Amino acid sequence: MANKRKSTDKIELSQNDALLLIDIQNDFLQGGNLAVPNGDQVIPVLNGYIEQFVNRQLPVFATRDWHPSNHSSFTRQGGPWPEHCIANSKGAEFATGLHLPASTDIISKGIDVEQDGYSGFVNPALKEQLDNAAARRLFIGGLATDYCVLNTVRDALDHHYRVLLLTDAIRAVNVRQQNGGNAINEMIQKGAIPITLDMIR
Ligand code: VGL
Ligand code: ZN
């Protein structure tokens, strides 16, 4: 099909592009309290994207789950998740292997007891800072495909950003085995464009 995007297609980075890294935090990685299966595999790939953006002096944003110790999503409070990403804890720190530039704009979410915080846009600072940076096209990757990536992409599309989904740099929790695949299908169906690192030049 002539119109179908192939992995050989190239994407030229330009101004109005921003990289948005979702929740690359110790608790979502191997040994963490809510480790995403194969989550660590996204780190070297994201470092490749970071390099491309830094080389062009394009902005990098990183969200982080930043919960109080009595967050409503924790099983102890009747929620679905083990305790994870408690503000200022080791588990909430960004992975040391992730090469975040010093200029990274950090967006905390899930900071109130009742705020679910799956989407980076629950913190209004994200939209404000993206607008300050004149970002129109967001390259989104990270953890987890079926929660925070999905909800951030939904909101980004609702806010009329163009979204490029980094399909080689996302991993799913897969509480049910099909959740990650379903999430990817939904994001693409809503307008996100799936890309891989080799497509960037
Ligand atoms: C996430 C579950 C709970 C995520 C955050 O980052 O996808 N998932 N909190
Ligand atoms: Zn959380």
Q: What pLDDT, on the 0 to 100 scale, is given for residue 5?
A: 57
Q: Is residue 1 part of a domain?
A: no
Q: Does the CB atom of residue 27 touch ligand 1 within 6 A? A: no
Distance (Å) from CA 168 to ligand 1 centroid: 19
Say which CATH number the domain at 123 has.
3.40.50.850
179-194 average pLDDT score: 98
Q: Is residue 4 part of a domain?
A: no
Residue span of the structural domain in which 173 resides: 17-199
Q: Is residue 7 part of a domain?
A: no
162-171 average pLDDT score: 98
pLDDT > 90: what percent of the chain? 94
Q: Is residue 8 part of a domain?
A: no
Number of domains the chain contains: 1
Q: Is residue 11 part of a domain?
A: no
Burial 8-31 (b: 16+ CB within 10 A, else e): eeebebeeebbbbbbbbbbbbbee
Distance (Å) from CA 128 to ligand 1 centroid: 23
Answer yes or no: are the C-beta atoms of 21 and 142 closer than 8 Å: yes
